[in-house]
Structure 1
Amino acid sequence: MLEALRGLTLRGRALLAAGLTCVVASLLLGLPVLVRFGAVAAALPVITVVLVGRTRYRLGLTRRVSPEIVPAGTPATVSLTVTNDARLSTSVLLLEDQVSYVLGPRPRFTVTGAGRAWRREVSYQVRSDVRGRHVVGPMTVRVCDPLGLVRLGRTFTSTAPLVVTPRVRPLAPHPVGGASAGSGNQRPRSFTSGSAEDVTVRDYRRGDDLRRVHWPSSARTGELMVRREEQPWQQRATVLVDNRAGVHAGRGAASSLEVAVTTAASVAVHLAQRGFAVRLVTARGEEDGIAWHDHVAGTDTRALLEALAVLPTESGSRMATGWLTQPGHDGLVVAVLGALPGEDTGLLRRVRAAAGAGLAVVLDVGTFGPVPPEAATGPEAASLLTAQGWTATTQQAGEPVEQVWDRLAAPGARSARATSAPTAGTTTGTTTGGPA
């Protein structure tokens, strides 16, 4: 009842105050006829409070977001199913779903006369131009009487996640190389020759030919084992994203950091679809769960995109180097960098020396905003990387990723090594380096 009293609307409070004023004024003025009108006006909100406060609502809500992972700028559909399991019909219900401001305005619905076993399905769309992990919900229900005198609020606890990944641009299938767990090509290795001890086996999977069952291993382990007659050799690629705040400029979706994340996502998905085992490395080191041994080449890019969707901005001034001591960084390395401070040249030299091939995209931070102090950017930074053996190019604000990739990975761009640094006053968008 106390909650219902606190839920009196402005109309209900005004009617209650007017009724009490009328009663007091009629008694002071000696007009008993007005007492009836005042009593009726004051009693109406009180009766409404009692009825609404004693009403028990049994509302149910089921929420579904489809799809749960969408690229930035692509809408997702939120489907709601609202049910009423109470025996009595409800009055007016005002439904409002809580969503992040980047997903658009909060959707509102009005429901009248929800009777017993009532069920209603509604849907709306959300859309975000900013990557990130968002929560849709919870829903707030406001119960209002037909006269609008009392309004009570209830909140559901159910929510649903929505992951907005960076936009992925289709890139041209230029041949890029790098070391692999073998020769660097997706070639099968035969195991049909050799003794029984040389046979590589794996667990039996449904659908395997029974003629491939390796009985000695099955007897030793107690489970069916089959021969692996071929083993694919997989190319490896490391995508390095410099996400430090001090090397980027601009704000929002148009900042150099967001452009770098979009470029890295497009390159990572492109390489994974071409059969590379891709891992993601940021300024703080290798991202957990994004090592290439966790991926099925050409199919699994969801973990990569989810990691890039929530990639934070690092406040540190130095990039982590611990991942260089781990095995497997000798394949293809694609670095997406902002401005280039002087202390980063040693790290990037080590990365290039250990990599089988090195491609670098340097954001021309000066086209996004003020350039960080004491840092090389644009063609100057690309020239420094070229001197270290990288194949480097720059990316300016508003430049499509497809054009940058064509300059960086096209056979003509990688085959020609720059013979001299750019002359003073010359602004060139591409600087080629060592062979990839």
Structure 2
Amino acid sequence: MLILGAAALVAGFVVGQRELVVLGVLATALPPLAALSLLGAAGRVVHSRGVTPSRVRAGHDARIMVRIGNSSHTWPVTAVSVSDTLPTPLGHEPRYSIGFLGPRAVRDLAYLVRPAVRGDYPLGPLWVAVTDPLGLVRVEQRPGSPEHLLVTPATVPLDAVGTSDGSQGDDSPRRSLSGAGEQDPVPREYRHGDELRRVHWRSTARRGELMVRRDEQHRREYGTVLLDARRAAHAGDGPGDSLETAVGAAASVALHLLDRGHEVRLHTDRGRMPAPAPAAVLDGLAVLEASGSTAPPAVSAAGSSLTVAVLGALTAEEAAALAASGGGHRVAVLCARAAWPSERARTGAGEMLASAGWRVVHLSTLSELPPLWRDAAPLGKVPR
């Protein structure tokens, strides 16, 4: 418009046409007037954002709600358009043309995202553009700061481990330290205040004095989960990355054990991760990044009732070192799509672990884990 106005002014003076001069003045004046009309307009546009839920599992939808408003009690804002800033894994950036916003007017926007891969994703900042009514001048700004969406690993439910009749059996998370069962408890002398229903009559008759059953002392069982998060041990990209499969498998096992009342000790090649509750496990694994470590996790798990190692590609030396570690019942989950040099290398590593007493399963996708988990526990239970 400025170039057109300048050309009209020059042409009007050259040929002596007053009308061209007037047109040139008008065309030249319009852009500054349009810019003046937008003075402070972008600053009057305010917004708020909500994410429901604020943490979601990979492969599930999250709803993003954005409220756009005009903070002025007097001045309207013309021709407003907005676009939200999203990282590439969440898809295309949504764009909306809101149009005219009167004083104190509000517009609500909403869209869905479905992240396929775990992580901590920033949402925003919002891109706001305000245009004058003639479309000559546009003012852009990015107000506010990003919100965050935490995407936890995808998991699968695992069958409860117990006896065939559905009882907990040997997988009970507590064991007695008294060394005696209910049929032959270790009694003690009767003390004032003890309940009579705890009297052990067989011991009373044998000892000639009143004896009661001793209180059982319990301690919690714990399981150890080892997660191989070395970048060099895994292959693939996106949801098909073998590291994502390994993280999902480790999370599924950890949640299963916590649900059964076990204490979980979760280790990666970087050390131990806190795992006091399911939410802590999922949140920690959501932001776990591949490491540059050259050695898989190796933890002495003496006293553990169950050791589960979720592994990427191993060398023969690494498999031999891991075979000697662990405690209790030991299960090795080998990711079939990891960076194995050959099929023979994966088979050889599995055979080496199996010869050391590990139950070995080969996992291609996370959905295969439930039946493999059932097979990894002999007779449908985790032995102590």
CA RMSD in angstroms comes to 3.1
Amino acid at match of 1:81: R
Q: What does residue 134 of structure 1 align with?
A: 121
Check conservation: 1:363, 1:378, Cα contact below 8 A: no
* Structure 2 CA distance for partners of 1:115 and 1:277, relative to 1, 3 Å: same
CA shift for structure 1 position 70 = 1.0
* Structure 2 CA distance for partners of 1:408 and 1:29, relative to 1, 3 Å: same
* Structure 2 CA distance for partners of 1:378 and 1:56, relative to 1, 3 Å: closer
Aligned-pair identity (%): 32
Aligned counterpart for 1:372 among listed residues 323, 333, 341:
341
CA shift for structure 1 position 399 = 6.1
Matched, 1:362 2:334: yes
The separation in 2 between residues aligned to 1:43 and 1:320, in whole angstroms, is: 71
Q: What does residue 292 of structure 2 align with?
A: 315
The separation in 2 between residues aligned to 1:64 and 1:391, in whole angstroms, is: 46
Equivalent residue runs for 1:171-182 within 5 Å: 171-175=158-162, 182=175
* Structure 2 CA distance for partners of 1:314 and 1:406, relative to 1, 3 Å: same
Check conservation: 2:116, 2:238, Cα contact below 8 A: no
Segment drifting more, 305-314 vs 70-79: 305-314
Amino acid at match of 1:130: V
Matched, 1:269 2:246: no
Amino acid at match of 2:328: G
Matched, 1:27 2:4: no
- What per-residue deviation string (whole Å, max 9, x for no partner) do you get for residues 162-217 of structure 1? 11112111112233968977549xx9xxxxx9999xxxxxxxxxxxxxxxxxxxxx
Aligned counterpart for 1:337 among listed residues 276, 286, 311:
311
- What per-residue deviation string (whole Å, max 9, x for no partner) do you get for residues 9-53 of structure 1? xxxxxx121111111122122323211112111211121112213
- What per-residue deviation string (whole Å, max 9, x for no partner) do you get for residues 136-185 of structure 1? 1111111111211111112122322111112111112233968977549x
* Structure 2 CA distance for partners of 1:231 and 1:183, relative to 1, 3 Å: closer
Check conservation: 2:324, 2:356, Cα contact below 8 A: no
Q: What does residue 302 of structure 1 align with?
A: 279
Aligned counterpart for 1:149 among listed residues 118, 128, 136:
136
Name the SS for the 2:100 alignment partner: coil
Check conservation: 1:248, 1:257, Cα contact below 8 A: yes
Check conservation: 1:96, 1:109, Cα contact below 8 A: yes
Check conservation: 2:42, 2:140, Cα contact below 8 A: no
* Structure 2 CA distance for partners of 1:69 and 1:377, relative to 1, 3 Å: farther
CA shift for structure 1 position 54 = 5.3
Name the SS for the 1:78 alignment partner: strand
Matched, 1:125 2:112: yes
- What per-residue deviation string (whole Å, max 9, x for no partner) do you get for residues 194-248 of structure 1? 999xxxxxxxxxxxxxxxxxxxxxxxxxxxxxxxx99864221111111112222
The separation in 1 between residues aligned to 2:303 and 2:137, in whole angstroms, is: 66
The separation in 2 between residues aligned to 1:403 and 1:83, in whole angstroms, is: 53
Give me the TM-score of the superposition, normalised by structure 1: 0.71
Aligned counterpart for 2:101 among listed residues 101, 114, 123:
114
Q: What does residue 384 of structure 1 align with?
A: 352
CA shift for structure 1 position 95 = 1.1
Name the SS for the 1:123 alignment partner: strand
Matched, 1:159 2:146: yes
Matched, 1:409 2:377: yes
The separation in 2 between residues aligned to 1:394 and 1:264, in whole angstroms, is: 14
5+ long unaligned stretches in structure 1: 1-14, 188-192, 197-228, 415-434
5+ long unaligned stretches in structure 2: 163-168, 182-188, 193-214
Amino acid at match of 1:91: T
Amino acid at match of 1:306: D
Aligned counterpart for 2:63 among listed residues 67, 71, 77:
77
Name the SS for the 1:403 alignment partner: helix
The separation in 1 between residues aligned to 2:285 and 2:360, in whole angstroms, is: 22
Check conservation: 2:82, 2:129, Cα contact below 8 A: yes
The separation in 2 between residues aligned to 1:358 and 1:101, in whole angstroms, is: 39
- What per-residue deviation string (whole Å, max 9, x for no partner) do you get for residues 341-390 of structure 1? 133235423423xx12211111224xx6x6338x9743322211111121
Matched, 1:90 2:64: no
Equivalent residue runs for 1:152-231 within 5 Å: 152-175=139-162, 182-183=175-176
CA shift for structure 1 position 304 = 0.6
Name the SS for the 2:38 alignment partner: helix
The separation in 2 between residues aligned to 1:54 and 1:266, in whole angstroms, is: 53
Count of aligned residue pairs for this structure pair: 346
Aligned counterpart for 1:348 among listed residues 290, 300, 322:
322
Check conservation: 2:173, 2:260, Cα contact below 8 A: no
CA shift for structure 1 position 57 = 3.5
Check conservation: 2:42, 2:139, Cα contact below 8 A: no
The separation in 2 between residues aligned to 1:240 and 1:141, in whole angstroms, is: 47
Q: What does residue 3 of structure 2 align with?
A: 17
* Structure 2 CA distance for partners of 1:104 and 1:362, relative to 1, 3 Å: same
